[in-house]
Amino acid sequence: MIRLNKAQFYFSFIIIGLFLVGCLNTSKNDSNEIHISGQIINPVLDIIKFESADSTFTAKLTKDGNFTFSFTTDSSLYLSLSHGEITSMYVKPGDNIELSLNTDEFDESVNYKGSEASNFLAKKYLIREQFNFYSKDFYLGSTEDYNLALKEYKSSILQASNSISDTAFVNKQSNEIDRQIKYFTDSKEEFMTSNEADVREFLFEKNLVNEKYNWYAIIDTMNIEGFNEIIAEYENSIKSLIEKLVKSDESISKELEKLEDDIDSKRERKLSIINQPQNGESYIDFTYENTTGEAVSLSSFKGSLVYLDVWATWCGPCKAEIPYLKTLEQDYHEQNIVFLSVSVDTNKDQWLKMVEEEALGGVQLWADGWSEITKDYAIFGIPRFMLFSEDGKVISNDAPRPSNEETKQLFDKYLAGI
């Protein structure tokens, strides 16, 4: 048996202790690591995505909707959380956050244990959503009354930040609110100086009338007969208000002209939707240049399915779809389908930069703004996805987005028939 003297014993004890401490330290999270875990109730996708200004992180959900992932960063940053809808987070190195979210309620249900700043952003969004900047005070109240309402709005938001110790974050949020309030304060002052009392009352009543109509649904889905009836009803309502409330001939003429322009715009938009190629009809061809300046046409891909994405670098929802689009491209790489993206950016360099930095795949084309493709396919908002058949027909002029599980089902259905 080997016996240690007292000095040897203590030396050995210290060495073993240091070794154990070292082992324990290596098992701990890096001080720059951020750990996010949680559960999505009623998930609509099998992943959850977190996006910063220059990085995207994706976590896979278990069958119970649970997820966990970690990443490192040397500074605090804002994240965009995406799972069906989008909300914001604020994280800092060392955070360990437990997230819970019910997609049936989304913003009303989201909670971040371990991140008061993220909870603040969620509360801020709800307060902003519930506050009516174009209230009766805006149209009919005094500037002082409106400013008081804005002051209370700011106070209610900042009150939600009382538990946050990160003064830099709180100060930035306060400055953002101040900029927002200044915008509406200036808007109120301009509105007061530009309109007499009778016109202000008319515009308030007109706004109440408009709140009764869901113009997006009316224009997008209603048949032409129903649309014309609604338009006539709306036109008569606004004309009655003009006759009742507006006094001067000049103001009457001005408001009638604005009404005529509004009606014409709605009718033009409705006709564009009706006249666009419908499902089963031949598509309308287009030609735009690719990243090397070569002219590329939609018709050059006949013989393959074409999944078309109309987007722009400045469009947040467009960029939120990029990771899902990349996954689709990888999953269907060996299939007879072309992924075609058309940017409506006016800044070509900005488009080229994002194509390179994001390593965007598929065929990338530049339309130089809202051009023929947006007119021919009645595109008034982006992103817009479409699917075309191998023989040049429209399968869907409003196809599901890459983040939608139905997209793969649609692909598989038509690829099986090729």
pLDDT surpasses 50 at 31: yes
Q: Residue 248: is its pLDDT beyond 90?
A: yes
**Rounded Cα gap, residues 122 and 157, in angstroms:** 11
33-115 and 287-415 share one CATH topology? no
**Residue-wise pLDDT tens digits, 284-340:** 999 999 999 999 999 999 999 999 999 999 998 898 889 889 999 999 999 999 999
CATH number of 287-415: 3.40.30.10
Which of 240, 288, 287, 239 lies closest to 262 in space, CA to CA? 239
Catalytic residue among 47, 315, 352, 415: 315
Residue 279, both tokens = 């499902």
* Predicted confidence band of residue 55 (pLDDT cuts 50, 70, 90): confident
Contact 70, 94 (CB under 8 A): no
**Could you read off the pLDDT of 107-159 as tens digits, one per residue?**
999 999 999 999 999 999 999 999 999 999 999 999 999 999 999 999 999 99
Q: What is the C-alpha separation between 116 and 129, in angstroms, rounded?
A: 20
Concerning whether 315 is annotated as a catalytic residue, the answer is yes
> Contact at 8 Å (CB) between 99 and 112?
yes
- Alpha helices (H) in 211-291, listed in sequence order: 215-221, 224-245, 249-275
- At 51, the pLDDT band (50, 70, 90 cuts) reads confident
CA distance 61 to 258: 51
Band (417; pLDDT cuts 50, 70, 90): confident
State CA 359 to chain mean position distance.
21
Cβ burial of 61 (10 Å; 0-12, 13-18, 19+) is middle
pTM of the predicted model over 0.75: no
CB within 8 A of 138, min separation 6: which ones?
Answer: 146, 184, 187, 188, 191
Average pLDDT across the chain, whole number: 90
Instruction: Please provide the CATH number assigned to the domain covering 33-115.
Output: 2.60.40.1120
Enumerate the domain spans of the chain: 33-115, 136-194, 197-274, 287-415
Going by pLDDT thresholds of 50, 70 and 90, the confidence category of residue 178 is: very high
pLDDT at 56 over 90: no
From the candidates 318, 322, 328, 399, give the one annotated as an active-site residue: 318
Q: Give one DSSP letter per residue of 145-188, joined into a string.
A: HHHHHHHHHHHHHHHTTTT---HHHHHHHHHHHHHHHHHHHHHH
Tokens linked to 28: 């701990």
DSSP secondary structure letters along 265-277: HHHHHHHHHHHSP
The secondary element (H helix, E strand) that includes residue 394 is strand 394-396
Question: d(Cα 274, Cα 227) in Å, to the nearest integer?
Answer: 12
What is the side-by-side strand order in the sheet with 96-102? 66-72, 33-41, 96-102, 111-113
Question: Can you say how many angstroms the Cα of residue 172 is from the centroid of all Cα atoms in its chain?
Answer: 22
CB atoms within 10 A of CB 99: 21
Please state whether beta strands 111-113 and 384-388 pair in parallel, antiparallel, or not at all (unpaired). unpaired
- Give, as one character, the DSSP assignment of residue 135: S
pLDDT for 16 equals: 44
Buried b or exposed e, range 185-216, using 16+ CB within 10 angstroms: eeebeebbeeeeeebbbbbbbbeeeeeebeee
For residue 400 the two structure tokens come to 């599901």
Q: Taking CA 200 as the corner, what is the angle to CA 180 and CA 211, rounded to the nearest 5 degrees?
A: 70
